[in-house]
A and B are shown apart, each in its own frame.
Chain A
C-alpha cells in the first residue's frame, strides 16, 4: 500500500542580507512536494518551486519526444536532467540546446537535431535575438522557439507578452535564420569531439 504525502508551503522570512534577487527581504515562492510517488525505486520525491518551472519542463519534454525515436526503445524511460549553472537570459533556449547535446552524447536515436532560439520585442518593436536578462525584463514580449535541423520546422513555441501577428512571423523568421548558426556550432563541436579519437 503506498502513501503519498503532499506538502505545500509558503514561507516568508525576513533576512538582512541583500543577495536575494527579490529585494531586501527574503521571500520564497510557493513550493509543493510529493513523496513516494514511484513504486519501483527505493525512494522518490518531486519538488516544485514556483509554477513556471513545471511548464518549462513540459515544454522541453514535448520537444524531446517529438524528435527522439521512442519506438526503438519500448518500455524504457529516458530521463534528461538539466542543472542551471548560471542564468544570463534566454534560459529556456539554453536548456533546449543542452538537452539536444546531451541526447546526442548519450547515443539516443533521434530523427533530427533541435535547437532553441529566444527573441525579445521591446516597446518600439525592435527585435533582439538571444536577449540578456535585462533585455528580457524590459521587453514587451519574449518568444522562445524550438526548431528542428532538417527543415527548420517549428517544434515548440513559448511566448510571454503582447505582440502582433506580423511580429510573430518576423520573430519566427529571425529565429530560423539564427538557428543555422546554432546548428553550425553543433556540427563544429561534434566534429572536434570525434577528431580527438
Chain B
C-alpha cells in the first residue's frame, strides 16, 4: 500500500537535517535543521559517519558562514526559527561561505543596528528625545546627534515630528539608540522630515522589495508624478506630492502593490497617467 509507506518516508525526512544548498529558494518552517556545505560529506544516509582525525591543516577547512535573520546556530547546524524562503548570498570578496537568511513576511519590526528608520517623536526629556520606531521600546535620540548641533545651537525638534535616522545601538538587552548623522558627522539625508506629506505603514517585506536595486515600482511611480519619498526599514513610508490627492493616490498604490502582479500594476499606472 502506498499510503503508509509515503507517510513513513515523510516522518524520516522530517527528522533528518537537509543540506542548506538543496533548500535554497524553498519555503522552510521553524524547527528544521540545515547542514552547512562542509558537513554534507560526513553525514551519510546512515547518520553520523566516523571521520579519521587528520593532522593536515588543509582538511580542517572551516568555512565561516554568517547566520542571518530567521536562523540560529544550533551545535554545528543551522536551526530555522521563522517561516519563509531560504536565501543565500555569495561572499563578495575574500573567504567566507556567504550569508544565509530566511526571507519572511512580517509586519512587526525588531530594531537592528544600522537600519534606517522613520520614527515619531513622542517625548522630550532633558537632552533626549523619545522616538517611537514601532518596536517594543521607544528609541532614544540625543539632541547632539544632528548635523551642526551644539549645546548652544539646538535642533528644532518638537513632539510629533517625523525623524529619519539610523540605529547605533539595537539589541535585545538594551534600549535602542538612534542618531541622525553618519560616522563622518554629516546628515546624509537624515534628520527631521519636512512639513506635510503622509506617513503610512506597510509590511517589512514590501519595504525590502521596494528598496532592492532596480525596483520597477519606484521607477514607474517616479514617472507618474514628481514626489518626495522616504522609506523606513520599520515598515513606514512617508510620501509627499504636489497636491493632497496625488499624495493619497501614491499612498494607495504603494500599499496595494504588495498584492498586485506586475501586469495589474502597469494597467493602473497607465490609467492614472492618462487622467
Contact A74 B172 (CB under 8 A): yes
**Residue in A73, A106, A107, A191 whose CB lies within 8 Å of B136:** A73
Contact A107 B30 (CB under 8 A): no
Interface string of A162-193 (1 = CB under 8 A from B): 00000000000000010010011011001101
**Across-interface contacts of A72 in B (CB, < 8 A):** 172
Segment from A10-18, A50-58, A133-141, A148-156 that makes contact with B = A148-156
* A117 CB, nearest partner CB in chain B, Å: 15
For chain B, residues 26 to 78, give those with C-beta under 8 angstroms from any C-beta of chain A.
Answer: 27, 29-31, 70, 72
Contacts A113-B29, A150-B31, A196-B259 known; list 4 others, CB within 8 Å: A150-B15, A177-B7, A180-B14, A197-B205
For chain B, residues 107 to 147, give those with C-beta under 8 angstroms from any C-beta of chain A.
Answer: 107-108, 110, 136-137
The distance in angstroms between the C-alpha atoms of A74 and B105, with both chains bound, is: 22
Contact A180 B27 (CB under 8 A): no
**Across-interface contacts of A109 in B (CB, < 8 A):** 30, 70, 72, 81-82
Contact B85 A107 (CB under 8 A): no
* A150 CB, nearest partner CB in chain B, Å: 5
For the complex, is B173 an interface residue (Cβ under 8 Å from A)?
yes
For the complex, is B104 an interface residue (Cβ under 8 Å from A)?
yes
Contact B11 A180 (CB under 8 A): yes
Contact A113 B105 (CB under 8 A): no
* B176 CB, nearest partner CB in chain A, Å: 13
Contact B31 A113 (CB under 8 A): yes
Contact B29 A111 (CB under 8 A): no
For the complex, is B83 an interface residue (Cβ under 8 Å from A)?
yes
Contact B7 A69 (CB under 8 A): no
Across the A-B interface, the 10 shortest Cβ-Cβ residue pairs: A107-B106, A112-B31, A109-B81, A110-B30, A76-B136, A150-B31, A149-B31, A191-B27, A104-B83, A194-B27
**Across-interface contacts of A148 in B (CB, < 8 A):** 31
Contact A110 B81 (CB under 8 A): yes
Q: Give chain B's interface secondary structure class.
A: loop
Interface residue count on the B side (C-beta < 8 Å): 30
**Across-interface contacts of A197 in B (CB, < 8 A):** 105, 205, 258
**Across-interface contacts of A183 in B (CB, < 8 A):** 14
**Residue in B11, B27, B81, B110 whose CB lies within 8 Å of A190:** B27
CB-nearest residue of chain B relative to A149?
B31
The distance in angstroms between the C-alpha atoms of A71 and B72, with both chains bound, is: 12
**Across-interface contacts of B84 in A (CB, < 8 A):** 194
* A74 CB, nearest partner CB in chain B, Å: 6
Interface residue count on the A side (C-beta < 8 Å): 32
The distance in angstroms between the C-alpha atoms of A104 and B82, with both chains bound, is: 7
**Across-interface contacts of B228 in A (CB, < 8 A):** none
For the complex, is B239 an interface residue (Cβ under 8 Å from A)?
no
Given A75-B136, A112-B30, also A106-B85 (CB < 8 A): no
* B87 CB, nearest partner CB in chain A, Å: 12
24 pairs of residues in contact across A and B, judged by CB atoms under 8 Å: A75-B136, A104-B29, A107-B104, A107-B106, A107-B107, A109-B70, A109-B81, A109-B82, A110-B82, A112-B31, A113-B30, A148-B31, A149-B31, A180-B10, A180-B11, A186-B29, A187-B29, A190-B29, A190-B83, A194-B27, A194-B83, A194-B85, A194-B105, A196-B259
Q: CB within 8 Å of A: which residues of B? A: 7, 10-11, 14-15, 27, 29-31, 70, 72, 79, 81-85, 104-108, 110, 136-137, 172-173, 205, 258-259
Contact A106 B14 (CB under 8 A): no
Given A74-B172, A180-B7, A183-B14, also A107-B29 (CB < 8 A): no
For chain A, residues 86 to 142, give those with C-beta under 8 angstroms from any C-beta of chain B.
Answer: 104, 106-107, 109-113
Contact A151 B30 (CB under 8 A): no
* B183 CB, nearest partner CB in chain A, Å: 28
The distance in angstroms between the C-alpha atoms of A106 and B109, with both chains bound, is: 10
Contact A106 B31 (CB under 8 A): no
CB-nearest residue of chain B relative to A103?
B30
Contact B108 A107 (CB under 8 A): yes
The distance in angstroms between the C-alpha atoms of A148 and B31, with both chains bound, is: 9
The distance in angstroms between the C-alpha atoms of A110 and B85, with both chains bound, is: 16
* A193 CB, nearest partner CB in chain B, Å: 8
The distance in angstroms between the C-alpha atoms of A18 and B29, with both chains bound, is: 47
Contact B172 A73 (CB under 8 A): yes
**Across-interface contacts of B7 in A (CB, < 8 A):** 177, 180
CB-nearest residue of chain A relative to B74?
A111
* B36 CB, nearest partner CB in chain A, Å: 19
